A and B are shown apart, each in its own frame.
Chain A
Amino acid sequence: MNDSSWEPVIGLEIHVELNTKSKLFSSAPNRFGDEPNTNITVVCTGQPGALPSLNKEAVRKAVQFGLAVNAKINLISHFDRKSYFYPDSPRNFQITQYDEPIVIGGAVIVDVEGETKIFGIHHAHLEDDAGMLKHFNTFAGVDYNRAGAPLVEIVSLPCIHSAKDAVAYASAIRSIMLYLDASDCNMEEGSLRFDANISVRKKGEEILRPKIEIKNMNSFHFLEIALNEEIRRQISLYTENPNQIWEKLVPPGTYRFDPNSKTLVLMRRKESADDYRYFPEPDLVPIRLTQEYVDSIQSALPELPQDRYRRYITTLGLSEHAASVLINDKPLSDYFEAALRLYPNPRLLCNWIMVEFTGRLAEGGKTILSLGIPPANIAKLAQMIDENRITSRIAKSVADDMVKNPLLDPETIVKNNPDYQPVSDPSEIEPLVDQVISENSQTVADYRAGHEKAFAYLVGQVMKKTRGKASPQVVNELLRKKISIALS
């Protein structure tokens, strides 16, 4: 999007599948990946005479989310029937919350490339998911395993003005859900899905131009490509046809993103507004919450990603980049926290976890977590470095060995390898120091002339001769003593 005189206006609807044990209105397991139509009860297949009964755990998770984004929790909310016919909908109406959702308002604060942005939430509501159609050669089938799975749908305000911001907002929602342990947010399994409403307008224009909807994207990458593609399309339509009626250029419609062609495919034009004939679900009583209940959830909220981000920067002294990478990868961040509890040197641990080990594993597609290296071993490694029990050079070799043998702890690795034992006996090191001084008389002179850097060079030369095994502390002491003596 090169033309800076245009402003995209984007609203996101994010569907998050909650990780409750059972479904929203039945005792059927809420589990992905099983044989079709095994996780079902009479409620999930819409049998006549079956009645929904509300899963309290799903309500609790929705309230947790609301509190996490500082929203108002509606103490009385209710469910509505949303009518439409489709084979994956077992009753041909969805049970959702239409005019009294459980979560109202709220906002997400996100750092986008160093800039702090606030994205407003209109509301979030509970609803049940549909089943899944499966197409075979000569027929289609429906798998109702997902039917009735609990969803929270989070509807943003139309306050997002670029594809990048949309991704940042969606990532923040995902992080919050993960930190609350409210969803596994598994994108491949469809636990996190995005619908986007998008229009563009001239900067400064008050009114909104016609919008289109892109449905059911399940990757941040696709979300970004799809939005950018649509922004580009709309701007070029308006630019090329400045006098055409907007609604003719961008007629309202529903699209889906085709990941193969990376283009938007029209699903249907919205000739008139869809009529879902919403009305209150008579089979469910309203959800009534007490303020005490809400307060108790509030006081038990876990640390949220933005709080952790701030703590990493202000208390732990991590860089913004490191903090941001860590909080957006909750398992890695939790791993870091576990190591930190055992050995409180955050910057050293962060460096080893995020730079050293990540670098070693980058090619194999593994992570420090998938490899199964216990956080205690990373903590131990950092401690050994800090205590000068190994040099940082040896530490790197130890790390190589830890990658090869993920369960081996660094102390054992060092103990079993004579090459990793640091040389700290001055009598062994002294001859090498003497050798370096005599070989580098000019550098010694520089040091004596007040160039502190020259000293580091000399240390490096000694270390080189010991193949990194000498204790830097001993080398320092010997060297400093000798050059100073010569001076006097």
Chain B
Amino acid sequence: MTKKLHHLSALELNRAFIEGQIRAVDIAAYFLDRIQIHNPKLGAFLSILAERALIQAEAIDLKRSQNKPLGRLAGVPIAIKDNMHILNEITTCGSKFLKNYRAPFDATAVHLMEQEDALILGKTNLDEFAMGSSNENSAFFPAHNPWNVKCVPGGSSGGSAAAIGARLSLLATGSDTGGSIRQPAGLCGVVGFKPTYGRVSRFGLVAFGSSLDQIGPITTTVADAALAMEVIGRHCPQDSTSLTLPPESYLDTLNNTNLSEITFGVPWHFLENLAPESRTNFSNSLDVLKGLGAKIIDIDLDICKYAIAIYYILATAEASTNLARFDGIRYGERSSQAKILDDVYELSREEGFGAEVKKRVMLGTYVLSSGYQDAYYKKAQKVRTLVIRSFERAYDRCDAVLLPVSPSTAFPLHSIHDPIQMYMQDIFTIPANLAGLPAISVPSGFDNNGLPFGLQFIGPQMHDVPVMQYAHAYEMATLYTRKIAPAFEGT
């Protein structure tokens, strides 16, 4: 091996392993070492599953030595967002409430990856119950941005994005309810893919907003995201909302696109208030795509100015019921102060939940209450339908929509105090969740402080493969994905 292992992509490392250039136990040890060294300043991992990774690595090495067939992810180190279950391991969801909760089953996505011989290194940090855009809502400690550890990595999959940005792992899972894969991927200069709603099973993902949640990969390259999707993008009978479609081929067709036949839509009016530096970066990206032959047209997605408002009604409404099960009766935190049943509920939730979670549960309860439901929940559902229609109309004229990933690059920890300003982080990512669309975030350059920007491709439902093709074409023309945060380039 001439190259350092963490400079490889997952595909390259998998190939090196299959070809016998390196043992799985060495891969596991190498990345576990990196985690040991760098995690204290990054806070990317909440738990490190060293023993599990090494046992799995030995098993894979044995398989290889016996010439048994090896999985698609053989030897690839992966990190799991800590709101997805690994059988018999702790799933905290970044919450004190579940700090001792041992998962009684595997999430389907985790199971599929482990079946393909991936090496699970650990569980990554997140905003409590995936509620947040900066990872500052983790009940344990915040995660940090590899490009500047004084800055946030984004959220809620901040730990996964930071881990990939710092190359502590080569593949990580995220969950995306309103941008929780794409926004941190954008802020950490890595690739994040949110599949079409229903493409990846949610079984074993602790729910936030069930109609919006979607699991997807965070990787260093688009091709690695394609590899991950071939493994986890499968129908699952245990998730009723799982699409009953055959798995798609992503990798084979990744280079098949000729952008000169592609039209991208840009909702210029919706981008009116974009900050100058972000606008410049976005325009540069459009120039790259034009240079590749793509046609860019103006489309109308003005309805998306309501996206944040309706998102914070629908997601919190669903969350208020999804989180009702955390009551101190069956599992998780139970207040030692509780004397009667109502105490068990009130004190356990009071002590177990953080401020943002409580706020969203209250908001969600309020918008569903009788007398308010028509004005909030039901109206928001109607507007959601309008958002879907708006995208459908746009896709009559273009193949994919282009948007920045977030309004700005990473911001310093504890710098945003106004909740609305924090919620605005997701203005460009939420629309894809509302409409269930596949969307990918790819690195698109850096600001004056060396912090990464991200570009977002949003396709029509089920067009996961084309979305990845466009992103791949852009990636190959820019090579921003080759850049590693300077502090983490070396060992």
Residues of A within 8 A of B325 (CB): 46, 48, 90-92
Q: Complex: how many Å from CA A253 to CA B244?
A: 47
Closest chain A residue to B103 by CB distance? A49
Judge whether A282 and B85 touch: CB under 8 Å: no
A5-13, A51-59, A121-129, A383-391: which lies at the B interface? A51-59
Residues 23 to 62 of chain B near chain A (Cβ within 8 Å): none
Highest count of chain A CB atoms <10 Å: which of B203, B239, B240: B240
- Contact of A279 with B by CB under 8 A: yes
Judge whether A279 and B373 touch: CB under 8 Å: yes
- Contact of A75 with B by CB under 8 A: no
B63-71, B316-324, B402-410: which lies at the A interface? B316-324
Closest chain A residue to B213 by CB distance? A282
Judge whether A83 and B321 touch: CB under 8 Å: yes
Known: A90-B325, A277-B373. A46 touches B91 (CB 8 A): no
Q: Please tell me which one of the listed residues B85, B237, B317 contacts residue A53 in the complex, with CB atoms under 8 A apart.
A: B237
- Contact of A469 with B by CB under 8 A: no
Over the window 184-207 of chain B, the binary record of Cβ atoms lying under 8 Å from chain A Cβ atoms (1 yes, 0 no) is 000000000000000000111111
Closest chain B residue to A88 by CB distance? B329
Judge whether B330 and A90 touch: CB under 8 Å: yes
Judge whether A53 and B240 touch: CB under 8 Å: yes
Residues of A within 8 A of B209 (CB): 282
Judge whether A49 and B91 touch: CB under 8 Å: yes
Closest chain A residue to B98 by CB distance? A48
- Contact of B107 with A by CB under 8 A: yes
From residue B166, how far is it (CB to closest CB) to chain A in Å? 28
Judge whether A142 and B373 touch: CB under 8 Å: no
- Contact of B101 with A by CB under 8 A: yes
Judge whether A48 and B321 touch: CB under 8 Å: no
From residue B173, how far is it (CB to closest CB) to chain A in Å? 13
Q: Complex: how many Å from CA A92 to CA B344?
A: 14
From residue B387, how far is it (CB to closest CB) to chain A in Å? 16
Judge whether B211 and A48 touch: CB under 8 Å: no
Known: A275-B369, A277-B368. A49 touches B206 (CB 8 A): yes
Residues of A within 8 A of B318 (CB): 282
Residues 258 to 274 of chain A near chain B (Cβ within 8 Å): 273
Q: Please tell me which one of the listed residues B210, B240, B241, B331 contacts residue A47 in the complex, with CB atoms under 8 A apart.
A: B331
From residue A300, how far is it (CB to closest CB) to chain B in Å? 26
Q: Complex: how many Å from CA A278 to CA B365?
A: 11
Judge whether A279 and B239 touch: CB under 8 Å: no
Q: Complex: how many Å from CA A81 to CA B237?
A: 21
From residue A186, how far is it (CB to closest CB) to chain B in Å? 28
Known: A48-B93, A53-B237, A282-B210. A142 touches B329 (CB 8 A): yes
Known: A142-B329, A277-B368. A42 touches B105 (CB 8 A): yes
Q: Complex: how many Å from CA A225 to CA B378?
A: 43
Judge whether B237 and A83 touch: CB under 8 Å: no
Q: Complex: how many Å from CA A146 to CA B405?
A: 47
- Contact of B84 with A by CB under 8 A: yes
Residues 74 to 125 of chain B near chain A (Cβ within 8 Å): 84-85, 91, 93, 98, 101, 103-105, 107
Residues of A within 8 A of B203 (CB): 49-51
Closest chain A residue to B324 by CB distance? A92
Q: Please tell me which one of the listed residues B101, B324, B326 contacts residue A83 in the complex, with CB atoms under 8 A apart.
A: B324
Residues of A within 8 A of B210 (CB): 282-283
Judge whether A51 and B240 touch: CB under 8 Å: yes
Judge whether B241 and A93 touch: CB under 8 Å: no
- Contact of A374 with B by CB under 8 A: no
Residues of B within 8 A of A46 (CB): 325, 330
Closest chain A residue to B107 by CB distance? A49
* Top 3 A-B residue pairs of the complex, sorted by shortest distance between their CB atoms: A92-B324, A282-B211, A277-B368
**Besides the contacts A83-B324, A91-B321, A282-B210, what 13 more A-B pairs have beta carbons closer than 8 Å?**
A46-B330, A48-B98, A49-B206, A50-B105, A53-B238, A91-B324, A92-B321, A273-B370, A277-B369, A279-B373, A282-B209, A283-B239, A284-B241
Footprint of B on A, CB under 8 Å?
Answer: 42, 45-54, 81, 83, 85, 87, 90-93, 142, 273, 275, 277-279, 282-285
Q: Can you spell out 23 A-B residue pairs with CB atoms less than 8 angstroms apart?
A: A47-B105, A48-B98, A48-B325, A49-B84, A49-B105, A49-B204, A51-B202, A51-B239, A53-B238, A83-B324, A91-B321, A91-B325, A92-B321, A93-B324, A273-B370, A277-B321, A277-B373, A279-B317, A282-B241, A282-B318, A283-B207, A283-B239, A285-B241
